[in-house]
Amino acid sequence: MPAPAPPAPPVRSVGRELLTHAPAAPLRALVAVGAVAALAARVLPGERPGAGVAVLALAVALAVVVVVRDARPAGRAGRPGGWQLVHGTAAVLLAGSAALRDAGWVVALDLLAALLLGALALAPTGRVRVWSAVLLAPLRPLARVASGTGWTARGVRRVLLLRAARPRRAVRRWPWLVPALRATAVTAVLLVVFVPLLASADARFGGLLEKLTGSTGAWLADALSRLTSTLLGTRPDLVVGRAVVFALAAVALSAALSTAWDAARRSPAGSTSGSTGGPPAGRRPRPVLARRVEWLLPLGALDALFAAFLVVRLTAPEVADTAGATLAGQVHAGFAQLVVATALVLAVVALAVRCTPMTAGPRAALALLCALSLGLDAAALADLRAYVDAYGLTRLRIGVGVVCAGLAGLLVLLLVAGARWQRRRQQPWVPHAAVAVAAACLLGLTAADPDAAIARAQLARGAAGTAGSSASAGPDVAYLSTLSADAAPGLADALREDPAALGAEGPCVLWSVAGGRSEQDASDEGWPSANLSRARAAGLAGLLSAAEQPCAEVGALG
C-alpha cells in the first residue's frame, strides 16, 4: 500500500493584517473615512479656523453614529449611552465655536476640549474603574492607530474581493456598456487636460475652439472652474499639503471609528455608559482609617480652620480700612492660595472616600468641608470682582473666574454624590458629570464672548473716569488694540456715540481689532474660513472714512 502524500504547505498571505478571519471595516465605514478625510483635506490646509472646522466636527459625529448603528447586532440597543451623547454633543458644540468666535485663546481651548470629549464619547466606560477609564479615554484612539488602519485596509480588500466575485447582471445584458463608459471617462480626462493647454499655446487655435463651442463652451469652462475652486480651493500650491492631510485624517478617523465599532460590538444589549449593567461591584476593602479618631481629628480640624477663615473674612474690616494693606496686595497674595486650597479639598475628599468607612459621621464631615470650600471659592470670586472693578477686566481674570466656577460645580457634585451614598455606594456618574461641568464652563465662556465683555468693561471704566474726572480710570487703548474681532461691535458702538471715547486713536483701534481687513478681504476667503465675528468686524471697519484709512497703512498703536 503506497504511503499517503505529505500535506501541502499552508498558503501564507502577504500580510497577516489582511487575513480574512480578522475584523474588517464595513462599506459604510469606508465611505465615511473617505468622505471625512476628503473634507478635512479641503477645510484645514491654508484656511483659518472657521465654518470648515464646525462642518468637519459635525461630519465626524455623523460618521461615528452611522458606524455604531451599523456595528450593533440585531436585537441590541441601537443608540449610544446617555453620557456618550452628552460628551459627543458637547464636543460638536465646542468645535462650532470656530465659526462664531475669533479669539484665538477661546477657540484653541474649545478645540482641545472637543478632541478630548470626542475621544471620551467613542466608547462607554462601564462601571468598573470609571475614573481611570475617563482619564485614559484620549489615549484609546492613539493606541488603535495601527489596528484601525489595518481594520480599514481589510475592509477595502474585502470590498474589492466581493466586487470581483459578484456577477454583474448589467454586463451580461449589455456587454458594450462598461467599455463605452470607460472609454468616455478616459477621453474626458484627456480632453480636460490637453485642450486648455493647446488653446493657451496658440491664439488661432483658441479662437477656433471658441467659435466651435460658442457660449456653451465658455459656460462649461466657467462652471468647471467654479466647481474645482469650491472643492479643491483656489491655491494649487497646497496640493501636497492636502494629500498629507487626507492621509493623516484617514488614519485618525480609522482609529476613532474602529474604537467605536469594537465598543458597539462588545457592549451588552441595552447597556449604556454608567447604567446599572456590568459586573457586580466587589466587596469594599477594609478602610485604612477605621477608628473614629483617625478620621474625625483631621477632618474636624480642617472644618474648623475653614470656618475660622470665613468668620474672619465676614467680620474683619475692608482692605481699604486696614493699615498697610492694599487691594492689589491682598488679591495677589490671597487669591491664588484660595483657589489652590479649594482644589486641594477635592483631593482630600477623594482620599477620604477611599480610606474612611464612609458612615454617617465621615459623610457629614466631608459635606461640611465641601460647603465651607464653597465659601472659600466665593471669597476668591469676591476678591476677583473687587480687583476687576478697580483695575479692569482682562483675559487672565476671566480665565481664573471660569476656573473658580468649575471648582464650585465640582464641589456641588460631591455634595450630591454624598447625599446619594447611603442609597447606592457606587457612583459611576460622578466622573462623567465632572467632565460635563468642565465642558459647560467652556461653553459658557464661549457664549459670554470674553473679548467683547473686556471691551465693554474697558469702555465703562472710560465713561466712569470721564464722569469722575479721573484720568487713571480711562480705557486701556493699547490693551484694547490686542483684542480679537469679537470686540469690534462694542468698539464701533462706542465710537458712534462718542468719537472721542478712545481718544484720537479710536479708529485705529477698531481697524486693529478687525485685523486690518476690509469687507472685500473677508469675502475673498473660502467658505472654510467663514467666521461670524471676522465678517462682522470687517463690515464695521469698512465704515471708516477715507481720512481714517491711513491708520491701517502706518500700523498705529504698534
Cell of 41: 483635506
State mean pLDDT over 395-424.
84
In a domain, 9, yes or no: no
Specify whether 98 is located in the same domain as 205. no
What global pTM score does this model have? 0.77
Q: In 47-98, which ranges are continuous DSSP H helix?
A: 51-71, 82-95
182: number of Cβ within 10 Å:
10
Task: Answer yes or no: is pLDDT of 275 > 50.
Answer: no
- The alpha carbon of residue 23 and the mean position of all alpha carbons in its chain are separated, in whole angstroms, by 30
| 155's grid cell | 475592509
Q: What is the pLDDT at residue 94?
A: 95
CA-CA distances (angstroms) from residue 235 to 53, 194, 241, 248, 448?
Answer: 19, 21, 11, 20, 36
- Is residue 3 in some structural domain? no
Measure the CA–CA gap between 267 and 488, rounded to whole angstroms: 50
Please tell me the predicted confidence (pLDDT) of residue 266: 74
**pLDDT tens digit sequence for 100-144:** 999 989 999 999 999 999 998 887 666 556 777 788 888 888 888
Whether residues 180 and 105 share a domain: the answer is: no
Q: Find the domain containing 40 and state its range.
A: 27-127
Higher pLDDT, 135 or 402: 402
From 412, 427, 442, the end of a domain falls on 427
DSSP run (H or E) holding 150: helix 145-165
The pLDDT value recorded for residue 546 is 42
Residue that the C-alpha cell 479721573 belongs to: 470
In a domain, 133, yes or no: no
Same domain flag for 298 and 365: yes
* Residue 95 sits in the same domain as residue 207: no
Clarify whether residues 218 and 78 are in a common domain. no
Angle between helices 51-71 and 27-43 (to 10 degrees): 170
> Looking at the domain assignment, is residue 155 inside a domain?
no
pLDDT of residue 272: 44
Q: Residue 47 corresponds to which cell in the numbers above?
A: 484656511
Number of folded domains in the chain?
A: 3
Among 110, 127, 144, identify where a domain stops. 127
461-495 pLDDT tens trace? 766 655 544 444 567 788 888 888 888 888 888 88
How confident is the model at residue 329, as a pLDDT?
63
* Domain match, 301 and 405 both: yes
In a domain, 274, yes or no: no
Residue 462 lies in a domain: no
Q: Are 117 and 439 in contact (CB under 8 A)?
A: yes
Tens digit of each residue's pLDDT (9 = 90 or more) over 195-215:
776 776 777 777 777 777 665
Closest CA to 271 of 116, 431, 125, 424: 125
Same domain, 122 and 188: no
Is 50 a member of any domain? Answer: yes
Domain end call among 392, 427, 462: 427
Query: Do 401 and 498 share a domain, yes or no?
Result: no
Question: Above pLDDT 90, what percent of the chain?
Answer: 18
> Does residue 244 sit in the same domain as residue 372?
yes
Q: 478 lies in a domain?
A: yes
Q: What is the pLDDT of residue 58?
A: 95
